[in-house]
Structure 1
Amino acid sequence: MRYRQLATASLALGVLLLIDVLRVWLPGIITIFGQAASTPAELMGAFALGWFVLALAAPAVVRRLGARPVTAAAAVVLAGARLALTAAPGGRPQLWLATAGLLAGLVWLVGVAAGTDRPVPGLALGLAVNASVHAVLDTYDLVWRGDWLAWLLSAVAVTLFLLGATRPAPPAGPTGARAWLLAGPALLLAGMVALAPALAQTGMSYLAGGDGVARSPLFGMAPVPVAVAVFLLAALAVPPARWARVLGPVALLAGAVLFALDRGDLLLAAVGLAAVGLGACLALTDDAGHDTTGAGTVDDTRSAARRGYAAAAGMLVFALGAVGYYSAYDIGYPNGAVPVVVAGLVAVVAFAAHRSTPRVAGPFPVLRTTASVAAVALLAPLLADELPVSSNRDGPPQRLTVVAYNIRMGFGLDGRFDLAGLGRAIERQRPDVVLLSEVDRAWLLNGGHDTLDLLSDRLGMPYVFGPAADPVWGDAVLSRWPVTDPRTLPLPAVGAPTGAQALAVTLDLGDGVRTAVVSTHLQPPPGQGPVVQARAVANFAIRYAAGRPLVVAGDLNTEPGDEAFGQFTAAGLVDALTSARPLATSPADDPRQQIDHVFVSPGLTASAPVAPRGTASDHLPVAVTLTLPPR
């Protein structure tokens, strides 16, 4: 029994480290290996899939050299790469370190599969602990923090993992292939939906907003302990018999369908259903009908190879699902079917699982209490105070400082998740209102962070979020002043693969003084300018402002003199950056293009426009001080 529990803990820690590596490696595909929307998505996809295809050779290596030495060697490389990534080297070294860690993690997983017939407790615990830690850290990974606490916790996790990985595994029976086949799909669905803290928090922000927008929630992480608890309880409990076995697969499919509908108000329901459904499906594949101590069972080579190939194939499904889902935002095709198909695969494999003997009621009873422990451990970050806004009791301000910034999902030019760099670039301007483009709030491809909430906390400014590509990717406005009447306008795609929108809010500056602000990110069709979208945004902004002072800003993907640029001036708006022209903002390390802009209504007087240098994104921010018209 002790060996079983040690193997479970070691597997859980290994899953935790592998997910940490994936949170660095996946964003590196588009921020280091290539550039989204410029490097062909097919090339980036081939790079990503190639390593998972290569891992299909791992079972043959394990069979020739033996599971224990291969697993131990791969565990050392995985642990070393994970620790090295805590240093956040950036650039190509970071990409190849993460790639080495990924490949080692895949080989380690295959080696563990060859000698382990009951992976479900370890897989479930690893996924649950990962979600819990990610929520406690407010989705800001230890890998990217780099402080002493990050090093300490990483070192502890790596040490415990290596101690477990080098111990002999308990004897294995001939079963377990089905459960190992679901390891990769479970990792994908957990990271995208079921156990994604950023997605749960985003869902809460839609409940706090309205009319299709999201606002800063007071208890953003509240759904996470519930999702973790129901997932663990479903995964570690004895599954129901007969027809009731269909409940878990149906719940998982329902959660995937709700997620695929791309509606912010359905995200919380998607998380809850997917969490309980995924756990129940894993439980259905947990082959525990044989002697659970392993006594008297001898694993043959064929069974070990079958489990190894199942684990490698399952991780290939993970890669195919991730690439298939996220490449749609560069190529342009409906991707909602991807999570549903993966959930369908999990459901079919789980429901078809057959046991010739009754399943023993759980050899790891201590893990059944983990759900309640996780819920208690997550209470602290749930009680965050609401972010303050500036008082308008002293009357409206005379000036507003506006910053517009395309933050590239939080990743700098070196491929690091650079929250501190973004925060410094904005804070130096002492802004009253910040307009953000390319805001990612839960994409697994980008590490599953809620970048908007993290920046909002760092700046001490509440946010309003407008979805563009989907409910977790779009544009935002952060303000020190109270915000009212948020509205969002989906923009015509005109052939561009990624969706676009315009988010309008009203700043209540006191004494009846109000200013309209519109944040947008235009997406030009291939080989053309965003003329149609620019016209739509200008008309929407003018109507929304209704004669009040107006600010329109963001990454407009058009330069002064272009037809799209002219749509804003033709609508009567003024280029607030004109006194500093030329003011190039992209690319950040060698700016040549003037594509980030601030337009204002004629009553606002612009001064001190700047585009401060930095590499926390692939764009430079633009900032300008606006003097309000006299009352």
Structure 2
Amino acid sequence: MERGQWSVPRLALGTLLLVDVLRVWLPSIITIFGQAASTPAELMGAFALLWFLLPFAVVPLWGRLPYRAKQAVIGVAAVGLGGSRLALVFVHGGQSQLYVASAGLLCGLVWFATQAMDGCRPVPGAPIGLVVAGVQHLVLGTVDLTWTGTWWASAIVVVEVLLFLMCGVTRLAEAEVSTGWSLVGPTVLLTGMVLLSPAALLAEVSYAVGAMPSGIGGGGVAEPYSVWLWLSFAIPAVAFWRGATSRTVVVPWANISFGGLLVLSVALYMYVPTYGFGPIVRFTAICFGALSLGRCVALASHGEAHRPARAGAAMLGGMLGFAVAAVAYYSAYDLGYPNRWVPVVVAGCVAGRTIVAVAGEDHVHERGLGTILMTVALAVPVLLYLPGGAPATVEKPDARSLRLVAYNVRMGFGLDGTFDPEAAARAVRRERPDVVVLSEVDRAWLLNGGHDTIAILARKLGMRYWFAPAADPVWGDAVLTNLPVTARETERLSADGAPTGAQALGVVIRVGGREIAVVSTHIQPPGGRPPLVQVREISAFATRFGRDRPTVVAGDLNIEPGDPSMVAFADAGYGDALAAFRPVRTFPADRPTKEIDHVLVRGGLTASDPSVGTTTASDHAPLAVTLHW
């Protein structure tokens, strides 16, 4: 293979490793450096941006370095990226995890900058790496190799790192530099958040399943789907790959239209709701957005050549844009401002860069992609009805009680910053619950590594799930049970000054010859005053939804016994099921001092056998109780 041909596998493997490092580094910023929002958002943002600014130092030095020095920089950066990626399989939790991931990010950015300045084209290597990263994440059930804890995961990472080092440390080419490097960062953001995120796509599939006619009312609630629907990820993956790598001459205005389609697709995903026909629109937006992004990346990489320093600065500038956009989007949930415009603006920047690159020139596209998309899209409705979905329901006609667990899982991350859904599942499984109520469930946040936490936990527990969005379509609350569900509904709560959104999810289960309504919620208190607005809304919703059934309201309520909010619940008819067993402390998980996770009941329900778990798989301890009628 010639020197120039090595650039494709080299960039593909480098992209794969960098994405894997980011999936550990991003949540480490929040859970380890940020200590679950106890560190000021401004300080977290400054710390995060620092690692994207440091690599710029290599750009002005590159032209002054002799050949051997340049070779050494490339080699050290490649070994640093590969070594850090491998180390993260073994280094879990604490400051070690944070700084190993930070070193990997720094070395990865330096290595990519040297590739840009050495004349490598970003296409097709980087897009192929993003597709491989997405497919690998899908095959692993959206759990990274870092967190699987198996010998074969270590073996796979060793192979990936060795292959990367074989390709990544090569002789300098010093060829003419191509454009398009400025789009690498925005592409990583858009693919990681939406367009090549298996968790984001499968979340839309679960919303679509929940909206299908099934005799259960209530829109906007996600339900388990057939495992065959994992194949639907082939649509955006193939679309992005073919869009980025296919070549045939077409007229410029047709190329420019891909930029507009990209902006439209991202906007539809961000603003169309999850109920009604929303999931179908959003699923379609992901697919066409992936195709459009691939085309934009390909078109922008065929523009006028630039000097090495400009190419390196463009690459690092694009990744700095990735960091700024990620901070702008996710810090909104701490600071409280609208954020859905952020990915749309990033898509607009990609579109603008593409328009500049293609104006007045003929560029490339390949026929036949539309046929492929149509064929796979027509197969999706068929896949919906294939077997292999959630566990079967379990009837308990003679039961006189049920065991309930309420647990704030903090997106699956423990106090030490590790993603350990098995530990969380083990703590829940120990209680042998009939119903599990979960708070802070993340289904695709790039900030947390892009995991579908509810699907992972449901698989591990062998239970069915119902999920409702709160802050955005992929962050909210859930109920898991294998008891028959006869109704479900969600209602968004008023923000009332709190930065993070909230909702109330109602599920009616059938057990012991009667129906019981279970409401899962996570109150977001406004600063300096009790959350009475949300408390009244939850009470009203639970009463309307529960009707004359026994009703349970459970979750992380962020209020203490005796607070005015607890009095407001009592005035609405919801008593504290744990009142006779106080104190029942659940936060923080390692040394609980606060009673903020609650189970409230009405309609003749009584409680016994309360239990607080000892796991630190979240910042909250799981709370279990048996309810009788």
TM-score by length of structure 2 reads: 0.91
Tell me which of 186, 200, 213 is aligned to 2:221. Answer: 213
The equivalent of 1:238 in structure 2 is 247
Q: Check conservation: 1:233, 1:279, Cα contact below 8 A.
A: yes
1:357-396 alpha-carbon deviations (Å, 9 max, x no partner):
876999xxxxxxx99xx99xx999998722223432x624
Q: Give the AA of the match of 1:72.
A: G
Tell whether the 8 Å contact from 1:118 to 1:288 is kept in structure 2 after alignment: no
Task: Give the Å deviation of 1:356.
Answer: 9.2
Asked whether the equivalents of residues 252 and 273 of structure 1 are also in contact (C-alpha less than 8 Å), the reply is yes
Structure 2 distance, partners of 1:43, 1:383, is: 49
Question: Is 2:186 aligned against 1:185?
Answer: yes
Query: What is aligned with 2:286?
Result: 271
The residue that corresponds to 2:343 in the other structure is 339
Task: Confirm or deny: 8 A CA contact 1:67 1:115 kept in the other structure.
Answer: no
Alpha-carbon distance in 2 for matches of 1:331, 1:626: 38
Q: How does 1:142-541 map to 2 (within 5 A)?
A: 142-170=145-173, 172-174=175-177, 176-177=178-179, 179-210=180-211, 211-218=219-226, 219-238=228-247, 240-261=250-271, 263-264=273-274, 265=279, 266-287=281-302, 303-354=307-358, 385-392=388-395, 395-509=397-511, 511=513, 513-541=514-542
Alpha-carbon shift at residue 8 of structure 1 (Å) = 0.7
Give the match for residue 22 of structure 1.
Answer: 22
Looking at structure 1, the residues matched to 197 and 263 of structure 2 have their Cα atoms a distance apart, in angstroms, of: 17
Conserved 8 A contact 2:431-2:624: yes
| 1:550 counterpart residue number | 551
Name the amino acid aligned to 1:129: V
The one-letter code of the counterpart of 1:222 is L
Distance 2:592 2:124 in 1: 52
SS of structure 1 residue aligned to 2:355 = helix
Deviations along 1:23-45, whole A, 9 cap, x unmatched? 01100111000134432211111
Deviations 1:170-222 (A, max 9, x none): 45214x23x10101011111101110110000000110113111111114423
- SS of the residue corresponding to residue 86 of structure 1 reads coil
Query: Equivalent residue of 1:516, what SS?
Result: strand
Describe the shift of the 1:458–1:351 C-alpha distance in structure 2 as closer, same or farther (beyond 3 A): same
Structure 1 residue runs of 4 or more that deviate by more than 4 Å after TM superposition: 354-362, 378-384
CA contact (8 A) 2:256 2:358 kept: no
Q: Deviations over 1:448-480 (max 9, x none)?
A: 110010001111111111110011000000012
Mean Cα deviation higher: 251-260 or 36-45: 36-45
Give how far 1:625 is off. 0.8
Instruction: Identify unmatched segments of 5+ residues in structure 1.
Output: 291-301, 363-369
- Write the distance in 2 (CA, Å) between the matches of 1:382 and 1:333: 40
Residues 1:605 and 2:609 are matched in the alignment: no
Cα distance in 1, alignment partners of residues 272 and 619 from structure 2: 27
Give deviations 1:275-316, integer Å, cap 9, x for gaps. Answer: 0111010111222899xxxxxxxxxxx711111111110100
TM alignment of 1:117-156, pairs within 5 A: 117-156=120-159
Q: Which amino acid aligns with 1:422?
A: A
Letter in 2 for 1:331: L
Counterpart Cα distance in 2 of 1:517 and 1:49: 43
1:12 is aligned to 2:20: no
Find the aligned partners of 1:575 and 1:322 in 2 and give their Cα distance.
Answer: 40
Structure 2 alignment gaps of length 5 or more:
212-218, 367-371
8 Å contact from structure 1 (residues 223, 268) kept in 2: no
SS in 2 for 1:182: helix
Q: Is the 8 A contact 1:205 1:220 kept in 2?
A: no
Q: Which amino acid aligns with 1:115?
A: D
CA distance in 2, matches of 1:255, 1:617: 35
Seq. identity, % = 49
Distance 1:354 1:269, change over 3 A: closer
Partner of 1:576: 577
CA distance in 1 between counterparts of 2:7 and 2:486 reads 54
Give 1:481 deviation, angstroms: 0.5
Farther off after superposition, 215-224 or 575-584: 215-224
In the aligned structure 2, how far is the partner of 1:417 from the partner of 1:92?
15
Q: Following the alignment from structure 2 to structure 1, what is the Cα–Cα distance between the partners of residues 144 and 482? A: 27
> Given that residues 139 and 197 in structure 1 are in contact (C-alpha distance below 8 angstroms), is that contact kept between their aligned partners in structure 2?
yes
- How far, CA to CA, are the matches of 1:497 and 1:484 in structure 2? 33
For 2:444 and 2:37, the matched residues in 1 are separated by 20
Q: Which residue of 2 aligns with 1:3?
A: 3
Contact map agreement 1:405 1:620 (CA 8 A) in 2? yes
Q: What per-residue deviation string (whole Å, max 9, x for no partner) do you get for residues 528-565 of structure 1?
A: 22121112111211221112111110000000000011
Deviation (angstroms), 1:63: 3.1
Please state whether the residue corresponding to 1:508 is helix, strand or coil: strand
Equivalent pair of 1:585/1:596 in contact (CA under 8 Å)? yes
Shift of residue 259, structure 1, vs aligned partner: 2.2
Q: Match of 1:386, SS?
A: coil
Q: Does 1:53 align with 2:57?
A: no
CA distance in 1, matches of 2:161, 2:478: 38
In structure 2, give the amino acid aligned to 1:213: V
Does the 8 Å CA contact 2:471/2:502 hold for their aligned counterparts? yes
User: How far off is 1:318 after superposition?
Assistant: 0.4
Q: How many aligned residue pairs are there?
A: 603
Counterpart of 1:454, as a letter, is I
Contact 1:407–1:439 under 8 Å retained in 2: yes
CA-to-partner distance for each residue in 1:416-437, whole Å, 9 max, x for gaps? 0011111111000001000000
Aligned 8 A contact 2:243 2:365 in 1: no
How far apart, in 2, do the equivalents of 1:289 and 1:489 lie? 52
Structure 1 vs Structure 2 CA RMSD: 2.5
Secondary structure, aligned partner of 1:215? coil
Other-structure match for 1:366: none
User: Match of 2:534, as an amino acid?
Assistant: Q
In structure 1, what is the Cα distance between the partners aligned to 2:481 and 2:359? 58
